[in-house]
Amino acid sequence: MAKSLRSKFKRRVRAVARVKKEPKAAALLQKAVDRRQEYEAEEAAKEAAEPSTAEKVAAPEKMDDGTEKAGISLKTLKKPDGTYPAWVNSKKKQKLSKINKNAKKNKQKKRGR
């Protein structure tokens, strides 16, 4: 479909740019491959130098990243301190508060009967 002069010209310009950029891209890829080979050689040397023990494989330790699990209520989407997480938008907050308020009223009505 693209047979206009402008399209042909743009294709020709892109082809020239591709030829111009090709050596730089090839060098970049070759550099990445070389770095990867160096890294693999270092890792192989480390692995050969360090004797593997069955204890390390048998008992993996639990990783402690210093963060606590977020105690967000799935029903109200609130944190234990009563605030909403950052990812809850204002419309959702309004909707949830309305639902929770109605649920609270209904619960009190049932208790009164």
Position 47 scores a pLDDT of 87
Q: How far is CA 84 from CA 27, 76, 88, 98, 99, in A?
A: 50, 9, 7, 14, 15
Per-residue pLDDT band for 59 (boundaries 50, 70, 90) equals low
DSSP secondary structure string for all residues of 67-91: -PPP---TTT---TTSPPPTTS-HH
pTM summary value: 0.37
Tell which residue, 54, 91, 95, 52, has the closest CA to residue 76. Answer: 95
Largest CA distance in the chain: 84
Average pLDDT over residues 7-26: 96
Q: What is the pLDDT of residues 73-99, one digit of tens each?
A: 888 888 999 899 999 999 999 999 999
